[in-house]
Amino acid sequence: MKVILQSDVANLGNVGDVVDVADGYGRNFLLPRGLALLADARNVKRLDHQKRVTAHRRARLEASANELAGRLADAAVSIKRTAGEEDKLFGSVTNRDIADALAADGFEIDRRSIILDEPIRNIGVFTVPVKLTMGVEASVKVYVIRE
Protein backbone atom coordinates (compact mmCIF):
# COMPACT_ATOMS: atom_id res chain seq x y z
CA MET A 1 0.00 0.00 0.00
CA LYS A 2 1.41 3.40 -0.96
CA VAL A 3 0.70 6.31 1.38
CA ILE A 4 1.63 9.99 1.59
CA LEU A 5 2.86 10.94 5.05
CA GLN A 6 1.11 13.91 6.63
CA SER A 7 3.50 14.10 9.59
CA ASP A 8 6.91 12.74 10.50
CA VAL A 9 6.76 9.06 11.45
CA ALA A 10 9.77 7.50 13.17
CA ASN A 11 11.58 4.85 11.10
CA LEU A 12 9.29 5.52 8.13
CA GLY A 13 9.72 9.01 6.69
CA ASN A 14 9.01 12.72 6.83
CA VAL A 15 6.09 14.91 5.82
CA GLY A 16 5.28 14.64 2.11
CA ASP A 17 7.15 11.38 1.50
CA VAL A 18 5.39 8.72 -0.55
CA VAL A 19 6.21 5.40 1.11
CA ASP A 20 5.20 1.79 0.66
CA VAL A 21 3.85 0.18 3.85
CA ALA A 22 2.14 -3.04 4.77
CA ASP A 23 -1.62 -2.96 4.17
CA GLY A 24 -2.52 -3.54 7.84
CA TYR A 25 -0.09 -0.90 9.11
CA GLY A 26 -1.46 1.67 6.73
CA ARG A 27 -5.14 0.77 7.14
CA ASN A 28 -5.14 0.23 10.92
CA PHE A 29 -2.56 2.70 12.19
CA LEU A 30 -1.50 5.44 9.77
CA LEU A 31 -4.79 6.32 8.07
CA PRO A 32 -7.09 6.41 11.17
CA ARG A 33 -4.64 8.59 13.11
CA GLY A 34 -4.32 11.06 10.24
CA LEU A 35 -0.60 10.38 9.86
CA ALA A 36 -0.97 9.47 6.18
CA LEU A 37 -3.24 9.66 3.14
CA LEU A 38 -3.76 6.97 0.55
CA ALA A 39 -1.48 7.70 -2.42
CA ASP A 40 -4.08 7.77 -5.18
CA ALA A 41 -3.83 10.04 -8.23
CA ARG A 42 -5.88 12.85 -6.64
CA ASN A 43 -3.82 12.99 -3.44
CA VAL A 44 -0.52 12.81 -5.36
CA LYS A 45 -1.61 15.78 -7.51
CA ARG A 46 -2.61 17.68 -4.39
CA LEU A 47 0.77 16.90 -2.81
CA ASP A 48 2.59 18.16 -5.90
CA HIS A 49 0.53 21.35 -5.82
CA GLN A 50 1.27 21.87 -2.12
CA LYS A 51 4.99 21.38 -2.76
CA ARG A 52 4.95 23.98 -5.56
CA VAL A 53 3.03 26.45 -3.38
CA THR A 54 5.41 25.87 -0.47
CA ALA A 55 8.47 26.27 -2.69
CA HIS A 56 7.08 29.53 -4.11
CA ARG A 57 6.27 30.85 -0.62
CA ARG A 58 9.73 29.86 0.63
CA ALA A 59 11.41 31.59 -2.33
CA ARG A 60 9.40 34.76 -1.73
CA LEU A 61 10.22 34.68 1.99
CA GLU A 62 13.91 34.13 1.28
CA ALA A 63 13.99 37.01 -1.22
CA SER A 64 12.44 39.39 1.30
CA ALA A 65 14.84 38.12 3.99
CA ASN A 66 17.83 38.75 1.70
CA GLU A 67 16.58 42.27 1.02
CA LEU A 68 16.15 42.86 4.76
CA ALA A 69 19.63 41.41 5.42
CA GLY A 70 21.08 43.91 2.96
CA ARG A 71 19.39 46.80 4.75
CA LEU A 72 20.43 45.45 8.18
CA ALA A 73 24.08 45.20 7.09
CA ASP A 74 24.10 48.99 6.70
CA ALA A 75 22.19 49.60 9.93
CA ALA A 76 23.70 50.55 13.26
CA VAL A 77 21.90 51.23 16.52
CA SER A 78 23.01 53.18 19.57
CA ILE A 79 21.92 52.23 23.05
CA LYS A 80 22.58 54.53 25.99
CA ARG A 81 23.22 53.02 29.40
CA THR A 82 24.66 54.27 32.66
CA ALA A 83 28.08 52.86 33.37
CA GLY A 84 30.49 52.76 36.26
CA GLU A 85 34.25 52.51 36.38
CA GLU A 86 36.09 50.51 33.74
CA ASP A 87 33.12 50.96 31.37
CA LYS A 88 31.00 48.32 33.14
CA LEU A 89 27.27 48.83 32.66
CA PHE A 90 24.79 49.02 35.50
CA GLY A 91 22.65 46.21 34.15
CA SER A 92 23.05 44.88 30.63
CA VAL A 93 21.92 45.19 27.03
CA THR A 94 19.79 42.24 25.96
CA ASN A 95 18.31 41.08 22.68
CA ARG A 96 15.06 42.81 23.66
CA ASP A 97 16.86 46.17 23.95
CA ILE A 98 18.43 45.66 20.53
CA ALA A 99 15.05 44.69 19.03
CA ASP A 100 13.48 47.85 20.50
CA ALA A 101 16.29 50.01 19.09
CA LEU A 102 15.87 48.37 15.67
CA ALA A 103 12.11 48.94 15.86
CA ALA A 104 12.76 52.63 16.50
CA ASP A 105 14.79 52.67 13.26
CA GLY A 106 11.95 50.99 11.34
CA PHE A 107 13.07 47.34 11.39
CA GLU A 108 10.54 44.82 12.68
CA ILE A 109 12.80 42.07 14.06
CA ASP A 110 11.63 39.48 16.57
CA ARG A 111 13.82 39.53 19.66
CA ARG A 112 14.30 35.75 19.46
CA SER A 113 15.99 36.24 16.08
CA ILE A 114 18.77 38.28 17.65
CA ILE A 115 21.54 35.91 18.70
CA LEU A 116 23.41 36.93 21.84
CA ASP A 117 25.46 34.31 23.66
CA GLU A 118 25.25 36.46 26.77
CA PRO A 119 23.98 39.98 27.45
CA ILE A 120 26.30 42.89 26.70
CA ARG A 121 27.75 44.30 29.92
CA ASN A 122 30.38 46.75 28.65
CA ILE A 123 30.52 49.98 26.72
CA GLY A 124 31.75 49.58 23.16
CA VAL A 125 30.91 48.51 19.62
CA PHE A 126 29.51 45.02 19.09
CA THR A 127 28.54 43.08 15.98
CA VAL A 128 25.39 41.11 16.72
CA PRO A 129 24.13 38.35 14.39
CA VAL A 130 20.44 38.30 13.45
CA LYS A 131 18.92 35.09 12.07
CA LEU A 132 16.17 36.08 9.65
CA THR A 133 15.18 32.72 8.12
CA MET A 134 16.65 29.26 7.89
CA GLY A 135 19.50 30.20 5.55
CA VAL A 136 19.71 33.97 5.88
CA GLU A 137 21.66 35.78 8.58
CA ALA A 138 22.66 39.41 8.93
CA SER A 139 24.87 41.38 11.27
CA VAL A 140 23.97 44.60 13.06
CA LYS A 141 26.44 46.99 14.66
CA VAL A 142 25.39 47.90 18.19
CA TYR A 143 27.02 50.93 19.81
CA VAL A 144 26.64 50.87 23.57
CA ILE A 145 27.41 54.37 24.80
CA ARG A 146 27.58 56.04 28.17
CA GLU A 147 24.48 57.98 29.21
Cβ–Cβ contacts within 10 Å for residue 96, how many?
Answer: 13
Output the pLDDT for position 116. 93
80 and 141 part of one domain: yes
For residue 34, the number of C-alpha atoms closer than 13 Å in the C-beta half-sphere is: 0
Q: Which domain holds residue 39?
A: 2-65
Q: How many domains would you assign to the chain?
A: 2
Q: Please give the Cα distance from 122 to 51 (Å, whole number).
A: 48
Residue 101 · residue 67 · CB < 8 Å? no
Q: What is the pLDDT of residue 129?
A: 94
Pair 130, 87 in one domain: yes
How many distinct helices (H) and strands (E) make up the chain?
Answer: 3, 8
* CATH number of domain containing 99: 3.10.430.100
Strands (DSSP E) contained in the chain are: 2-5, 18-20, 36-38, 76-81, 88-93, 120-122, 124-131, 137-146
pLDDT above 90 (res 16): no
Q: Please say if the pLDDT value at position 82 is more than 90.
A: yes
Please give the pLDDT value at position 53. Answer: 93
The DSSP code for 119 is -
Alpha-carbon distance of 116 to 132, in angstroms, equals 14
Domain-located, residue 70: no
Query: Of the candidates 65, 87, 112, which is a domain's last residue?
Result: 65
